[in-house]
Every structure is written in C-alpha cells, then in structure tokens.
C-alpha cells in the first residue's frame, strides 16, 4: 500500500481552471443559512470576507460520483485508495475584495501529496493551492488540505482532546442541525454523504452522527472576526483537529492581540475540546 500511495505524488503540479459568478441569489441564500438579517444584496456590494467558499463547487455528472457522494477520484484530485476523506485545514490570504456581480476565475494546482502514518494508520494529505481572480485582479489565494484515511476501527479509542489555546474575549455558541448542514451543502453543491446521510456516516464511515461541514466551521470563524475585529481580516491559517456533529453545541472563540493586528481563533466542541485552531491577521 505504501508504494501505491507514493505513486500518487505524480499528481503534484496538475492544474485546473474554472469560471464562476458572484450572484445575488447565492449571496442572499448564504446570509439566510447563517441566520443573518441582511438586506437583499445588489450588484457592486462587496462580498463579505470568507464568503468565497460558496464559489467554484466541483460539478460532475451523477454517474461520475463515488460511493461517498464526492466526484470519483483520479481526475484533478489523485485516486487515493483510502475510503474516508475529510477537510483538514486551510490558509487564506485576502488580496482584494470580490463584489456581487463579478465574473471570477479560479486557477488551482496540486501543490503537495504527502503520505503519513498516524495513530489510525496510513493517511494521505493533498494540498490544493487556488488563486481566485476578479475583473480587477488577484483577490484571494487559498491553500486547502484534504486528508484521506483508512476505514474506521470501531475498537480504536477516540483521540485525546486538546485544550483551548487561550481565554475567549469573543465567543458565539452554535448548535448545528441537519437543515443547516443540508443548506450549506446545497449552496456549495457538496454531495459528501457524511453531512446528510446518517446510515452511511454511521455504518460505513463509523461516526456517531452527521458531521459538521469543515468549510462551514471555518466560515463561522470568519464571521466571528468580522463581527468583532476593528479591521478586515487579511490572512487566516486554520487547522481542523477534531470532528463535530449535528445537534451538539459548539463555541466559536477569539482572543485579539493587544495591538489589534492579530488574533487567535478557535472552536470548542460540545465537550469543551479543541475542534479547530486558527491564527488571523487583520489589515
């Protein structure tokens, strides 16, 4: 298996491009999903920072989907022969704002394919670097880490919880329900069954319930910073360290540095364990 996984490094350097549009309906629907009472967006309005996550969903024919609801592997992403796939983290740099009505272009490259061995066996980390360009030039650079794991071992003990990195100055409690996950998955055209198919996620992937979408968790971190920070967020580095599940409350937290230019951001699950850890820089 290790030799087969090493061959996946041949995918490093592959490129994919796409075009999308920042539309009024999509922005309005995301605001509703986030339970925001925003006015109807109009052309020319700035897109809130972090909301680019609803752009550029992977669109393939239904017959080209895998058993987990994702596009079958081996087109742009490498054909990793491990059954479980999860969002692991990202690094985002905001260069300029996107606006409602923009035609935007995505340029994505496979930057790294790393084979590692963890507590539960072999894992493959795939890093995808993406530039998003508006008609005015480069707007967002994002590196996203995707982790592939082997089948779940029902006898394996859960990972030890990690404590919060600091004391919260900003905080927001959230209880995700299946409707929230479904609406965000619909907005992002995300067919991954771990977010809506209880029988699949429990019987096939071995999790206790539907899994909170990692992209949505990261977006809620953006929203906390947007609500409290004095300046717009310019860079965010986040790492998902523990899955969270529906109907279990979690807390999005933040502590700004004294000078106000940086902040620690994190998410605690229903047990108070660290689920996401992030560092932020502001303009």
Select from 281, 185, 218 the least CA-distant residue to 90.
Answer: 218
Cβ neighbors of 204 (< 8 A, separation 6 or more) are 67, 83
Q: What is the pLDDT of residues 125-154, one digit of tens each?
A: 999 999 999 999 999 999 999 999 888 777
Question: Does pLDDT of 173 surpass 60?
Answer: yes
Q: What is the pLDDT of residues 4-34, one digit of tens each?
A: 777 898 999 999 999 999 999 999 999 999 9
Question: How confident is the model at residue 153, as a pLDDT?
Answer: 75
Split at pLDDT 50, 70, 90, the class of 3 is: low
The fourth-level CATH superfamily of domain 2-282 is Hotdog Thioesterase (3.10.129.10)
pTM, to two decimals = 0.89
Q: What is the pLDDT of residues 88-122, one digit of tens each?
A: 899 999 999 999 999 999 999 999 999 888 776 88
**Percentage of the residues of the chain whose pLDDT score is greater than 90:** 77
Q: Which two tokens stand for residue 270?
A: 């229903």
Question: Does pLDDT of 1 surpass 80?
Answer: no
Domain ranges of the chain: 2-282
Mean model confidence pLDDT for the chain: 93
Over residues 62-83, mean pLDDT:
89
Over residues 170-187, mean pLDDT:
97
Question: How confident is the model at residue 177, as a pLDDT?
Answer: 97
């Amino acid at each position: 298996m290790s030799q087969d996984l090493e061959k996946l490094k041949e995918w490093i350097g592959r490129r994919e491009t796409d075009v999308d549009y920042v539309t009024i309906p999509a922005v309005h629907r995301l605001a509703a999903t986030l339970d925001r009472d925003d006015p109807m967006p109009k052309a020319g309005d700035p897109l809130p920072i972090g909301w680019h996550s609803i752009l550029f969903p992977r669109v393939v024919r239904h017959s080209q989907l895998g058993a987990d609801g994702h596009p079958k592997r081996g087109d742009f992403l490498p054909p990793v022969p491990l059954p479980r796939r999860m969002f692991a983290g990202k690094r985002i740099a905001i260069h300029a704002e996107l606006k409602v009505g923009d035609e935007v272009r995505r340029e994505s490259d496979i930057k790294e394919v790393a084979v590692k061995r963890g507590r539960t066996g072999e894992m493959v980390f795939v890093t995808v670097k993406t530039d998003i360009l508006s008609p005015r030039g480069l707007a967002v650079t994002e590196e996203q880490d995707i982790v592939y794991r082997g089948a779940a071992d029902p006898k394996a003990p859960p990972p030890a919880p990690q404590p919060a990195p600091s004391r919260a100055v900003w905080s927001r409690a959230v209880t995700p329900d299946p409707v929230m996950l479904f609406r965000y998955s619909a907005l992002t055209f995300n067919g991954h069954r771990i977010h809506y198919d209880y029988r699949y996620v429990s019987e096939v992937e071995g999790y206790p319930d539907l899994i909170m979408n990692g992209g949505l968790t990261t977006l809620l971190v953006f929203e906390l910073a947007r609500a409290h920070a004095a300046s717009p967020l310019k860079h965010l580095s986040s790492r998902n360290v523990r899955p969270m599940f529906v109907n279990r409350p979690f807390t999005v937290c933040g502590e700004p540095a004294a000078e106000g230019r940086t902040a620690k951001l994190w998410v605690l699950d229903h047990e108070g364990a660290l689920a996401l850890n992030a560092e932020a820089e502001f303009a």
